[in-house]
Amino acid sequence: MIGVPGLLPTDRLGRPLRNLRISVTDRCNLRCRYCMPEAEYVWLPRSSILSFEEIDRLAGIFAGLGVSKIRLTGGEPLLRHDLPTLVSRLSQRAAVRDLALTTNGVLLAREAEALRAAGLRRVTVSLDTLRPERMQEFARSRRHADVIAGIDAANAAGFAPVKLNTVVIRGYNDDEVVDLLEFARERGAEPRFIEYMDVGGATDWSMDQVVSQREILDMVARRFGPVEPRAEDAWAPAERFALPDGTVFGVIASTTAPFCRTCDRGRLTADGTFLLCLYGEDGLDLRQLVRGGASDEEIAGRIAETWTRRTARGAEERRDLADRGVLHRIESLRADPRREMHTRGG
Ligand code: SAM
């Protein structure tokens, strides 16, 4: 079913606004080749980054418009000082039924308990490889052991199940799909394999590096036996599957089989721009409204109006291109850092 009853806004394709991804910082402590491959970045000015009070106020306004799921992301969200304080504010909002965090895990071991105590419900950790030397080469970091410790700490803190995100890239980690699945199974975590996307930041993207959902499922089936699709929430981005022993894993096929028709996600950049699509340029400057003294009603009205006009189908439009190359080259990202994945929130 598309659309929700009542006065909540739906866009031109009948999609409600139910999910909000909030980027709390554009900074990151990794330099993954598919997201932040450059040595130098133009950071958003500190004064432009929304305060916790501003984020929380906006979250309340979004919740009034139907948002019940919030995911904190970045950049690396755990680089934002005192994140549990923000979590604690957001978790007190009854309308926000699902509060989650996506992190690279490097700093998670020291934060997991405080986040849980503050009311965080779910954690997703990005884990592209089990091999420290690969992480060093691909993300320019020697902190692989810290990521594993972060996953263990999240488990111990009671985030069950922890989800693990792996972007599968041909020639880099496509030989680790089975190992990552086994690793997750041993830890009681749920792995999700993500097709490599041509988003801003992926300046070296090419279609031949994309390992499709079909290929991923074939690899898994060759090792573990027949893979069964599970009947799921049609609005969720990950399609979930079960192995013969009941182990569940997900695949996010945003490149070869995008889910635009059921995309109910808005995004809030760290500097307060409300974006309608991971690929899109259209946005609404909420920071200006918040700092300019607009009332909650005015802001809600502007968000609803913007959402109602939404037609975005970014991933489908990319899929339908005859000659698909990178979305943005480095010059275009430097001209507007909000085009970067780490600024708009992955
Ligand atoms: N720093 C946090 C992390 O690493 O999870 C949160 C931000 S990161 C941008 C969010 C997710 O986006 C990660 O799981 C990352 O792997 C994914 N991502 C980044 N670039 C991508 C790309 N080109 N294709 C697919 N996924 C990508």
Contact by Cβ (8 Å): 241, 231: no
Indicate if ligand 1 lies below 6 Å from the C-beta of 241: no
Q: Is 34 in the pocket of ligand 1 (CB under 6 A)?
A: yes
The distance of Cα 83 from the centroid of its chain, to the nearest Å, equals 17
CA distances from 279 to 36, 54, 282, 288, 339 (A): 16, 25, 9, 23, 8
Cβ–ligand 1 contact at 118 (below 6 Å): no
Residue 132 CA to ligand 1 centre (angstroms): 18
Give the tens place of pLDDT for each residue, 13-68. 999 999 999 999 999 999 999 999 888 888 999 999 999 999 999 999 999 999 99
CA gap 198, 196 in Å, rounded: 7
Of residues 309, 187, 324, the one with CA closest to residue 255: 324
- Provide the pLDDT for residue 330: 84
Average pLDDT over residues 205-219: 96
Q: What pLDDT is recorded for position 232? A: 77
pLDDT range class, residue 3, cuts 50, 70, 90 = very low
Of all residues in the chain, what percent carry a pLDDT higher than 90? 79
Question: Would you call 6 exposed, middle or buried from its count of C-beta atoms within 10 A (0-12, 13-18, 19+)?
Answer: exposed
Q: Which amino acid is at 334?
A: R
Gap from CA of 6 to ligand 1 centroid (Å) = 35
pLDDT for 333: 83
127 Cβ below 6 A of ligand 1: no
Q: Residues 133-175: pLDDT tens digits?
A: 999 999 999 999 999 999 999 999 999 899 999 999 999 999 9
**Which of 167, 192, 213 best tests ligand 1's pocket when mutated (most atoms within 8 Å of CB)?**
167
28 CB under 6 A from ligand 1? yes
Give CA–CA dist 151/171, Å, rounded: 25
CA-proximal residue: ligand 1, atom 12 (nearest): 346
Q: Compute the distance from residue 221 Cα to the ligand 1 centre, in Å.
A: 26
Does 10 contact ligand 1 (Cβ within 6 A)? no
Asked if residue 87 lies in contact with residue 326, where contact means CB atoms within 8 angstroms, the answer is no
Q: How confident is the model at residue 109 (pLDDT cuts 50, 70, 90)?
A: very high
- Confidence at residue 6, expressed as pLDDT on a 0 to 100 scale: 53
* Per-residue pLDDT tens digits for 175-208: 999 999 999 999 999 999 999 999 888 888 999 9
Of 106, 138, 341, 342, which is best to mutate to test ligand 1, by the most ligand atoms within 8 angstroms of its C-beta?
341
